[in-house]
Amino acid sequence: METFGTVLSERALNIFMRHAHDDKTIPSVRSFVYDMLGPTPDRGDMLYRYEHSLRAAENAAVIAEAEGLPKDDLIIACLLHDVGYRECGDDFKRHPFFSADIAKRYLEMIGYPQEPLREMVRGMKRQLLI
CATH at 30:
1.10.472.50
Series of mean pLDDT values for 10-residue runs along the chain (130 residues)? 67 96 96 95 91 97 96 96 90 87 95 93 72
pLDDT at 128: 54
Total domain count for the chain?
Answer: 1
What pLDDT is recorded for position 62? 97
Contact 85, 37 (CB under 8 A): yes
The residues with which 7 forms a beta bridge, in sequence order, are 2
Domain that includes residue 27, residue range: 2-129
- pLDDT in the model for residue 130: 45
pLDDT at 83: 95
Residue 1: per-residue pLDDT = 53
The residue type at 111: G
**Model confidence, pTM:** 0.90
pLDDT at 2: 46
